Amino acid sequence: MRGARIGVWSTNNVEWLLLQMATARIGAVLVNINPANRTRELGYALQRSEVQGLFLIPRFRSSDYVAMVLELIPELRKARAQLESAAFPHLRKVIVYDPAAPRETQRPADGFVTWQALIAAADAVSPEQLDALSASLDRDDPINIQYTSGTTGFPKAVVLTHHNLLNNAYFTARAMRFTEADRLCIPVPFYHCFGMVLANLVCFSVGACAVVPSEHFDPEACLRAVQDARCTAIHGVPTMFIAQLEHPRFAQFDVGSLRTGIMAGAPCPPALMKRVMQEMHCREILIGYGQTEASPLTHLTSHDDSLERRTETVGTNLPHQEVKVIDVKSGATLPCGAVGEVCFRGYHVMQGYYGDAEATRKTVDPSGWLHSGDLGTMDADGYLRITGRLKEMIIRGGENIYPAEIEEFLFSHPKIAQVGVFGIPDERYGESVMAWVQLHAGAQATEDEIREYCKGKIAHFKIPQQVWFVDEFPMTVTGKLQKFRMREQALEKLKAA
C-alpha cells in the first residue's frame, strides 16, 4: 500500500534487494534497520517510524533475530491474522525469510508470516492493479526512512523521496563513468545509504552488476569476490580498505581488474588513498562526502583531478546542488579558505526527520539550507576540504583544534594503521588532545615516539597529550569511529586510575 512503512532488519542478501525494488514499485516506505541493533534499539526504530510490516532473517552469527523480536513483542506467539500489540500499535505483520534456505517453509512461531506465503499471496494482485498503483505515485513521495548512524547518540529517522535517491544515484554513476560493463563489489551494508543508494541504485541506474561478497563485511570475502568476479569497482569506508590492505593474504589475490570505487563515510587519509590507488589498482578511486540527510552524496572527486585534490579534498558538489560555508556564530557566508560549517541546498535535501518537526527545523533552515554539522573550507574552484565535526572540535586554551587534521598527520607515521583523535576534559586548558592508535601488525611504538614524531611538524598545542595504543575501536556497522564511546571509555579508565 502506498505510504505504508515496511521495515527490513537484515544483513546483505538478495531478498533485501528485492524488497528495495518492490517497496519502491508500490510506493511503500522502506525503513532500513541496522542489523547490529538489539531489542531496545529495534523497539526504538519500530516506534519512531511507526513500522507496519517488518521483514527479518532468523539469525546471523550470534544474533538470534527471531528470539529478540519475540522478547520485544511477546504477543507474536499468539497472533493469527494480524498482530495486535499495545507497545507497537502500528505493527501488523512480521515476515521471516532465510537467505541460506530461501525455498524452505519454516515458521519459527505462529505469529510469523513466511517468505513463501508472502510470494504466494502476490497471485491475488493482477499486473493491471500493480501498474495502476505505480502510475499513481509521485516522484516527491517519501520512499525510504534511514536512520542516522548514531556516532553521537540516538539516531534520527531521515525521510527520503524517489526524487532524492534516484537523482543522487544517477549523478554518482555518471561521475564514476559507470556502465553496464562494470561490476561493483559491495561490502558496505544495504541498510545504510552508502549501500542502498551509492551501490545498489548506482548499479540499477546503468545496468551494472552488483556483486555481494558476504552478508557482513569480511575483508577476505571482498578480495575473493573481486578476483573471482573480476570486479571493476569497490566501495568502502576507510576502515574497510585498511582491513583488506592489512589482510595477511592480500598479496595472494588478483585485484588487477579494479578501476574505480568510492571511499567515503569517514575522513580518508591521503596516505591510505595512495595505497588503494597503487596496491589495489584503483587508480580512479573517488573520495565521496555527504550525509544521510542529503540522500547521501553531496561531493565527489573526479578521475581527472590532480593527485593533490583527489587525496586532500572531497571534491566538488554534484550537479544541481548548492553548497556554502558559513560562520558558526553569525551564519554569514564565509570567503574562500575560511573554516566554517558546511551547508547544502537542492533536490537531495531530506523531507525531514519522521515525527520530529523540531529536530527538522534545527537542521534545515527556512531557506532550505541543510546544516551539516561538519566544518570545512572551500577554495575558489569549489573544492571542499572537511576539517572536522562541529561537535568534535577541541577547544584547548582558546585554540580551535580539528581532530581530522591531527588524524591525517598521524596516519602518515609508518607504524600507524589507524588512529582516532578526540578531546577530553583538562583542568588547565579546558580540553586536551587524546589519540587512540592502532599499529600495523607486528609493529611496536611508545607514546614518546608518537609525540616526538609530531614535534616541529604540527603546532605544539595539537600534539596529543595522551596516546593510547588499542587493538580495536568502537565503531558503527558502517565503520565509523564512535568517538563519544571512545571518550566515555577513556574517562572511565582515567577516573578509575
CATH 3.30.300.30 fits domain 394-496 = yes
Q: In the chain, pLDDT over 70 holds for what percent of residues?
A: 98
Give the model's pLDDT for residue 107.
75
Confidence (pTM): 0.84
Average pLDDT over the chain, rounded to an integer:
93
pLDDT in tens, 201-213: 999 999 999 999 9
Measured distance CA(94)–CA(46) in Å, rounded? 12
**Which amino acid is residue 329, in one-letter code?**
K
Domain 5-137 matches domain 161-389 at the CATH topology level? yes
Split at pLDDT 50, 70, 90, the class of 118 is: very high
Report, as an integer, the average pLDDT of 53-69.
94
Split at pLDDT 50, 70, 90, the class of 127 is: very high
Report, as an integer, the average pLDDT of 207-220.
97
Q: Which residue has the higher pLDDT, 392 or 246?
A: 246
Split at pLDDT 50, 70, 90, the class of 152 is: very low
Comparing 10-19, 68-77, 142-151, 447-456, the range with the smallest average pLDDT is 142-151
pLDDT in tens, 323-367: 999 999 999 999 999 999 999 999 999 999 999 999 999 999 999
Domain boundaries, the chain: 5-137, 161-389, 394-496
CA dihedral 74, 76, 80, 83 (to 10 degrees): 100
pLDDT in tens, 426-452: 877 878 999 999 999 999 999 999 999
CATH 3.40.50.2020 fits domain 5-137 = no
Q: In the chain, how long is the greatest CA-to-CA distance?
A: 73
Give the model's pLDDT for residue 151.
44
Measured distance CA(263)–CA(314) in Å, rounded? 10
- Architecture per CATH, domain 161-389, reads as 3-Layer(aba) Sandwich (3.40)
Measured distance CA(277)–CA(254) in Å, rounded? 15
Comparing 162-176, 215-229, 400-414, the range with the smallest average pLDDT is 400-414
Question: Could you tell me which of 412, 425, 403, 405 has the C-alpha nearest to residue 481?
Answer: 403
Strand partners, 262: 286
